[in-house]
Amino acid sequence: MRRLWAIADIHLSFKSNREEFAKLQPRGPDDGLILAGDVGETIETLNEAFEVSKKHFKHVFWVPGNHELYSSKSAKEDEMHLRGESKYMACIMAAKRHGVLTPEDEYMTWVYEDDGVQTAAVICPIFTLYDYSFRPEHVTREGALDWAMEEGIKATDETLLHSDPYTTRDEWCARLVSEAETKLAKAAATGFPLVIINHWPLREDTIFIPKVPRFSLWCGTVLTKEWHQKYHAKVIVTGHLHVRRTDWIDGVRFEEVSLGYPRQWQEAKDEGHTVNTLLREILPGEPTPQEGNEPTTTWRGRGRGWSLSHGLEPMTPSSPTNRTNLRAL
């Protein structure tokens, strides 16, 4: 049976994560793999991940996370000058060299079998970034960063993720959202349900980071809240939060599929899990539950429910070390 799998936030800049991902094993001959962002900070790291993935999966889909967009000091000299959109396009070129599909490619119609019936879905990698709109109504955009800093929270993005050539990340986000809407509308018009892949959550109510709730500023945009219904989605695949989770909203399955930094999935490793058991099956995936009976589950392996949320460190204004730990997101 043909299957589509997903994982995000593999962070190959960490030696133990890189060694673990190198153990990736093939599934069925026609299976596909989604890499939902935060593979690493450099083109070299992306090349490594793409090479391993394409070796074992016929089709690989990738969307950028915030870490891919960083202007990294650890990059090779010809990459260090890349900022904003130019860094993104350099990542796209790397993907193209490996035959990996990205938000810049035409969407693929994925034919598969579900309960013995042949069906299809359109696989839609997108890139939206964020616009600081995941915040309380009483907090203005101008006051948003101060609001987060009241609890000592400031994302590394503020230093390393540039918006060039756009004036702000908000402006870049608005452009990306508009472009994604055009492509998603065209895909929805085929009549097939969509699998929408993005690094950042599409809805604020799927964000579960109780120890650092004000990090929500860097987690998406309210502009995408209704996309699961507007574009007739079957599954929404995201990462970024480092809390693996399945939500059901309006009959649509929302999958947060991140791995995280080594310390954040150490418990999984201690219980015998590997990168292969932590791949999340997207298609065919779980059957749609009866309306009103939809569970919310934290995942480690298929059929095993336990949370990674303890891996997030509390953030306080007096703790600069903890502030650095926000790079985990």
pLDDT digit string, tens, across residues 199-255:
999 999 999 998 899 999 999 999 999 999 999 999 999 999 999 999 999 999 999
Query: What pLDDT score does 263 carry?
Result: 95
- Give the per-residue pLDDT at 292: 73
Beta bridge partners of 245: 256, 298
Other Cβ atoms closer than 10 A to 231: 21
Q: What pLDDT is stored for residue 211 in this prediction?
A: 87
Q: Is the CB of residue 258 less than 8 Å from the CB of residue 242?
A: yes
Q: At a CB cut-off of 8 Å and minimum separation 6, what does 120 contact? A: 109, 110, 111, 112, 192
Residue 164 tokens read as 């060039």
Question: 51-85: buried (b, 16+ CB within 10 Å) or exposed (e) per residue?
Answer: ebbeeebebbbbbbbbbbbbbbeebeeebeebbbb
Helix axes 85-98, 43-56, angle to 10 degrees: 30
Three-state secondary structure call for residue 254: strand
- The SS3 call for residue 20 is helix
pLDDT of res. 75: 64
Q: Taking the CA atoms of the chain, what radius of gyration do you get in angstroms?
A: 19
What pLDDT is stored for residue 289 in this prediction?
Answer: 83
Nearest Cα to 79, choosing from 41, 37, 40, 36? 41
Degrees to nearest 5, angle at CA 228 with 226 and 229: 70
What number of residues does the chain have?
329
| CA separation, residue 328 to residues 39, 107, 170 (Å) | 12, 30, 22
The pTM score is 0.90
| CA 42/CA 18 separation, integer angstroms | 13
Which is the CATH superfamily of the domain at 4-299? Metallo-dependent phosphatases (3.60.21.10)
Q: What is the DSSP string of 41-90?
A: SSHHHHHHHHHHHHHH-SEEEE---TTTTS--TTS-HHHHT--THHHHHH
Tokens of 297: 């589950």
Mean pLDDT by 10 residues, the chain (329 residues): 97 97 96 98 96 98 98 74 96 98 98 95 98 98 97 96 98 98 98 98 95 96 98 98 94 96 93 95 90 68 34 29 38
